[in-house]
Structure 1
């Protein structure tokens, strides 16, 4: 499948049973729900998918389940988060053999690479596979910033095709589009900056809270890309408090709780994460309930 790098690509949660093992049926059901609500693709095992907490076998099992379930209806993109170049290359090749259509590549984990090392890391992975690569750029989370001058060093790698922009600075969107035009697809990677990013020309969004609100997320991006900012702002304001949860250190727990409330999927997480409890849980529940009520009010 040729990937059309546009639309809402949820960073899909990895559904787990109470004992921490993969919940195969919930994973499959969740994917079907997202597709039925109009997403443009799915990103398995991003940070929201708890990539770094999964074993090597679990990662490959998740990809096999995704490829089999999605069955070509939308592109399946796999997160790639490894601690060494050798492990990253092996995962890329395994993912390609399993049948995914693209990779969202984190910088090497645990070691903060310098500019030269970072570019070489991405270049080596690009040359190891035919899959299209989305660069995962989250300097707050991983300490490595793929600035436009570093992306320039990768422009001759034909399968480096997209960047998930998560610097929390919308001027970066304009800088990338001005410098590269349509050479790289620029995706918004921050839920509570999606309307601002779309106004600047972004047409793709890797979203966490789209797990909980897929239909509304698709509608929001479609409105913004079409230039209907009156309706887009109204919907954005209805969802913004929910979207703010996507940028918290506990975004995985928050998104899984929101998804549990809207779709009934288990909110289990891999330790050392723990399910929410007490006042913190009540606060998130209230935000989700209010977002649901806001969306209902708009439709009346």
Structure 2
């Protein structure tokens, strides 16, 4: 039943409970058509369970969802969705190509789709090597190739960069960006906010099964990261404070062991330096510090833990 043509995914109060506890707790979100949406959370946050429900691998306890505008997961809808959930699983004694041919056969897809997928993930030159000889990055790319076999409209990728080295992460990131440029919608999960922020249009932060923040990476950083701080090293602390208290765009200023700390949402490092030097204040150093996205993420989850206790 087609209920929503504007979203690739829509979930409303989606919940999954197990005897040991609640894995997904009333999660509501919308993934727009053509959007790359990131689902970030610590291990055990509920990311995989949520994805499993979207493709019929787990039955929701309550709530509702639609995929590609349909509230019913028919075979027709599922053929338009490519998935890589809980890591790629292939026959270790078969080659990469043989594994994909088998997947394509069971899915009723043409053999030509295998070659297209292998080329897309840049595995043609290793397609006839046995799967067990693949590096982790190659195994992840073969998993993405399997997800792409039916030329899906929507990709659901569970931790596609998990365990990869920096080169492998960069390669996977490029592959995902390419799929988005070609018009596909992508829902991907990660436990690294800084990594997911480099490829996603919007992000939902999941903790203990609940969404605790949503928005663009920049919006999350601004809302939860706090204003950047500018540290000025000087021995003329009193004079510096006098100048800086009246400076434009200064949200706060205080003395520190190094000299003076300025809080400002804008990067006014250059204008502060000019103002201080013009006033005869000796400045021996100046730097702008802002918490990393990973620090923001960890603080958000820690704050949620404190509020729950």
TM-score class, shorter-chain normalisation, is 0.3 to 0.5
Higher strand share: 2
Give the number of the structure whose alpha-carbon radius of gyration is greater: 2
More helix by share: 1
